[in-house]
C-alpha cells in the first residue's frame, strides 16, 4: 500500500451532467415567471395550454401565440404528503396538485401549502412567488389558497 500522500485524488460527482436550452416557447414562459407573470399558449382549436408547449397537441404545428394569464387557478386533483421527502419543494405536510390556471384549458403540476382540510378538488389557489427567481419552474415556490 502506498502512502496516502502518494495517491492522486480528484473530486467526483456521480451525475448526468447534461445541460439543456429552453427553446423558443419555454424560454418565454420561464422569463415571464422570473417577472412574476404566467403565460399560456393558444392551440389550433383555440384552447390555451399552460404551461405552454412548442407544438400543437393535435396537428403538431409550431405554436407561437403566447397569452398572459393570471397567477390564480383551480385544483383539478391532489394528493397529500404527510411526511415530505428531502427533495420535495416543501418540508412540512403539503399537497401535490394539478392546477388549472384561470384562462387555461390544461393544468400544471405544483405543490400547495394549505391546511389539509381546505385542500379539495375545485379549491381556488394562487401562486406564492419565490423571492429569488432565476427563470425555472421553482420560481413558483408553491401555491396557496386564494
Partner 1 sequence: MRDIAIISYAQTPQLRDAGAQNDIELVMDVTHKAMDKVGMTIDDIDFICSGSCDYLGGAAFAFVNAVDALGAVPPKVESHVEMDAAWALYEAWLKMQMGHTDAALIYGFGKSSHCEMRMTPTLQLDPYYYSPLWPDTISLAGLQARTLLDQGKYTEEDFAKVVVNSRKQALSNPHAQLKGDVTVEQILAEDYMVEPLRMSDCCPVTDGASSLIMVTREKAEQMIAEGKIEKAAYITGLDHRTDTHALGSRDISIATSASIAAEKAGVGKGSIDIAEVYAPFSFQELMLKEAMGIGENTKMNPSGGTLAGHVFMSHGLERIGEVADRIIKGEAGRGVAHATSGPCLQQNLVAVLEA
User: What residue ranges bind partner 1 (CB under 8 A)?
Assistant: 14, 16, 20, 22, 26, 30, 49, 51, 53, 57, 76-82, 85, 87-89, 96-100, 106-111, 121, 136-138
Residue 3 or 19: the one with the smaller Cβ distance to partner 1 is 19
- Asked whether the beta carbons of 74 and 107 are under 8 A apart, the reply is no
d(Cα 120, Cα 76) in Å, to the nearest integer?
Answer: 8
- Asked whether the beta carbons of 46 and 55 are under 8 A apart, the reply is no
Q: Which string of b and e fits 18-29 if b means at least 16 CB within 10 Å?
A: eeeeeeebbebb
Residue 4 or 83: the one with the smaller Cβ distance to partner 1 is 83
Smallest separation (angstroms) from partner 1 to the CB of 120: 9
- Asked whether the beta carbons of 69 and 39 are under 8 A apart, the reply is yes
Cα-based angle 116, 88, 18 (whole degrees, multiple of 5): 150
- Asked whether the beta carbons of 138 and 89 are under 8 A apart, the reply is yes
Residue 111 or 125: the one with the smaller Cβ distance to partner 1 is 111
Residue 32 or 97: the one with the smaller Cβ distance to partner 1 is 97
Smallest separation (angstroms) from partner 1 to the CB of 77: 5
Smallest separation (angstroms) from partner 1 to the CB of 7: 23
Smallest separation (angstroms) from partner 1 to the CB of 53: 7
Amino acid at each position: 500500500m502506498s502512502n496516502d500522500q502518494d495517491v492522486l485524488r480528484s473530486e467526483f460527482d456521480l451525475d448526468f451532467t447534461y445541460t439543456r436550452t429552453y427553446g423558443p416557447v419555454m424560454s418565454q414562459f420561464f422569463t415571464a415567471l422570473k417577472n412574476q407573470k404566467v403565460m399560456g399558449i393558444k392551440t389550433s382549436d383555440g384552447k390555451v395550454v399552460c404551461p405552454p408547449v412548442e407544438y400543437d397537441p393535435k396537428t403538431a404545428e409550431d405554436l407561437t401565440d403566447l397569452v398572459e394569464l393570471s397567477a390564480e387557478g383551480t385544483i383539478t386533483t391532489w394528493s397529500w404528503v404527510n411526511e415530505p421527502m428531502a427533495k420535495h419543494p416543501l418540508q412540512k405536510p403539503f399537497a401535490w396538485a394539478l392546477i388549472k390556471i384561470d384562462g387555461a384549458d390544461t393544468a400544471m403540476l405544483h405543490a400547495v401549502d394549505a391546511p389539509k382540510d381546505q385542500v379539495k378538488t375545485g379549491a381556488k389557489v394562487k401562486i406564492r412567488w419565490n423571492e429569488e427567481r432565476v427563470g425555472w419552474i421553482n420560481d413558483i415556490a408553491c401555491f396557496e389558497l386564494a
